[in-house]
């Protein structure tokens, strides 16, 4: 997914201003000119400058693009030449991969929120099954691979490396 440089620059500038504003509230050390706010402010200024340059660059490319588009509009299709703010990747034109793209963050957020109450094993099986199925395995293979992988991970991390994976529902049912 490509954004026009100007958009990225704008985001950076806004972020930098907010960051500098917040940094100035940090207390300074007694008798010391340089406090904890120094580095964040330097970084903020750098980001601000870069953001501004990116905006300038982005606008220039956009102008060039539109000039190019005007001169060649007749023979070529508009979709490729018209100036764009956001250029979506190939995945965005295909509804299936669009869902897949969103699926990864959604599944991860679900895991972060639900891992404590539900537990690692059921959640991991569910996540893997959904993802495997969406990426083109058949439903049965997805479930089998998901169960096997989950059990291996559980064995490896919880039993061998002694990581306290959230146990959740399953253990409560087993007593």
Interacting residues toward other proteins by CB under 8 A? 1-3, 5, 8, 12, 19, 22-23, 26-29, 32-36, 39-40, 43, 46-47, 50-51, 53-54, 57, 60-61, 64, 89-91, 97, 100-101, 103-105, 107-109, 111-112, 115-116, 120, 124, 127-128, 131-132, 135-137, 145-146, 149-150, 153, 157, 161-165
Instruction: Give the span between the Cα atoms of 109 and 73, in whole angstroms.
Output: 44
Q: What is the DSSP string of 116-154?
A: HHH-HHHHHHHHHHHHHHHTT--HHHHHHHHHHHHHHHI
For 29, half-sphere exposure in the C-beta direction (CA atoms, 13 angstrom radius) is 8
Question: Least distance to other proteins from the beta carbon of 160, Å?
Answer: 8
Instruction: Please report how close the Cβ of residue 157 comes to other proteins at its closest, in angstroms.
Output: 5
Nearer to other proteins (CB atom), residue 30 or residue 175: 30
* 160/175 with CB nearer other proteins: 160
Q: What DSSP line would sit under 154-169, residue for residue?
A: IIIIIIIS------HH
């Amino acid at each position: 997914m490509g954004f026009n440089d100007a958009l990225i620059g704008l985001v950076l500038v806004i972020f930098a201003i907010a960051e500098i504003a917040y940094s100035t509230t940090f207390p300074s050390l007694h008798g010391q000119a340089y406090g904890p706010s120094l580095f964040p402010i330097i970084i903020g200024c750098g980001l601000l400058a870069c953001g501004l340059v990116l905006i300038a660059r982005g606008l220039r490319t956009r102008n060039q693009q539109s000039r190019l588009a005007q001169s060649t509009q007749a023979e070529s299709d508009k979709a490729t030449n018209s100036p764009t703010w956001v250029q979506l990747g190939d995945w965005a034109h295909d509804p299936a991969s669009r869902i897949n793209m969103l699926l990864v963050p959604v599944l991860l957020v679900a895991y972060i929120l639900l891992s404590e109450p539900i537990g690692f094993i059921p959640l991991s099986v569910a996540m893997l099954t959904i993802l495997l199925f969406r990426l083109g395995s058949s439903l049965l293979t997805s479930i089998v691979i998901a169960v096997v992988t989950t059990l291996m991970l559980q064995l490896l991390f919880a039993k061998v490396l002694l990581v306290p994976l959230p146990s959740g529902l399953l253990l409560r049912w087993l007593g």
